[in-house]
Amino acid sequence: MKILRIATIAAITLGFMSFGITNAVAKTSSSKQKTTATAQQTNVVDLNTADMQALENLKGIGSKKAQAIIDYRTKNGAFASIDDLDNVKGFSSKLIAKLQKNNPGKIVVNPIK
């Protein structure tokens, strides 16, 4: 009888422990997903405010193209749309389309206030 009680208590304890571990794993997984989503949102690059480093983080933009974007922006003012990159030395409509394809949702043009 005493052994049966001990076995029952042990089984119940293991059940609770198993639930706690499963629950903790689920919470950790959910937390990682939220962190990833936040990181993706912060990878957005605004052509009107981005510095060299932010521009270079885009696939297809190296230091020369990043500098060309900054030089154009300094000389001519803010971009109205991503298509304005066609006016920047070294950019073409084909390259702009490739940049958008390789950096989906990461390139934006917000108006300067």
How large is the average pLDDT for residues 98-111? 96
Q: Partners of 109 in the beta sheet?
A: none
CB of 59 closer than 8 Å to CB of 43: no
pLDDT value of position 22: 47
Domain ranges of the chain: 1-41, 45-108
d(CA 49, CA 53): 12
Helix ranges restricted to H, 43-81: 52-56, 63-76
69 Cβ partners below 8 Å, 6+ apart?
Answer: 47, 50, 55, 61, 85, 88
pLDDT in tens, 50-79: 999 999 999 999 999 999 999 999 999 999
Whole-number pLDDT of residue 71: 98
pTM, full prediction? 0.63
Q: Is the domain 45-108 a CATH 3.30.420.40 member?
A: no
